[in-house]
Structure 1
Amino acid sequence: MLHVLLVRYTARPDAVTPHVPGHVAYLERHHADGTFLLSGQTVPDDLGGVILATGPRERVERVAAEDPFAVAGVAAYEIVTVDPGRLHESLRELLTRNDR
């Protein structure tokens, strides 16, 4: 499965800033393990960010709950699960490999 994670700030920027290093480490860890395929800030960046994740929804929910932003209560996640009908072959390979 493919999941779009919408990360929305729930606190002022000065409350978010101290948690940025932990959040970046969290992103790097889950990009390295193959759970996250893409991550980035919204434009404008004051809205939050978007993550494209793969794997079982239950695992993605657990991973989202571990984000230092979520733990600190400065951001909230909305997870939209997508059952891709048409996709590029390279993305199909990633989804097949990580959908466990």
Structure 2
Amino acid sequence: MPHVVIVSYTGSEEDAAPFVRDHVAYLERHHADGVFLVSGPTVPSSQGGAILAHGVDRETIDRISAEDPFVENGVATHTITTIEPGRVHPALAAPLTAAPVSQN
């Protein structure tokens, strides 16, 4: 099932700045393992960002979210909404219905 993860700064972007490099590595790791389909800043970016994840259950996405360096260092929180797709654009059907990603 897909999950929408909203990343909200608990303070300012400047508070998060020391952790950006580790946060980007976290994003790259989960894009590479196939869990994150899309990630990026919100508009305006001062609010945080968003992630579209898939292929893992809710327990796993909760664990992955807790590992975000922004969350670990208290400069952001994650709000997760899990979606049960009723209708899917054909261009997204394959990635959203792919077999679950193995997360050891």
Instruction: Say whether the 8 Å CA contact 1:4–1:51 is kept in structure 2.
Output: yes
Give 1:43 deviation, angstroms: 0.6
CA apart distance, 1:13: 2.3
TM-score norm. by structure 1 comes to 0.93
> Pairwise CA RMSD of aligned residues?
1.2
**1:3-42 aligned within 5 A:** 3-42=3-42
Contact 1:34 1:98 in 2 (8 A): no
Counterpart check, 1:47 vs 2:47:
yes
Question: Whole-Å Cα distance in 1 between the matches of residues 97 and 87 of structure 2?
Answer: 14
For structure 2, the 5+ residue unaligned runs are none
Question: Does the C-alpha gap of structure 1 residues 38 and 93 become closer, same or farther in structure 2, counting only changes over 3 Å?
Answer: same
Structure 1: 5+ residue stretches without partners? none
Scaled by the length of structure 2, what TM-score is found? 0.90
The structure 1 segments of at least 4 consecutive aligned residues displaced by more than 3 Å after TM superposition are none
Point out the structure with the larger helix share: 1
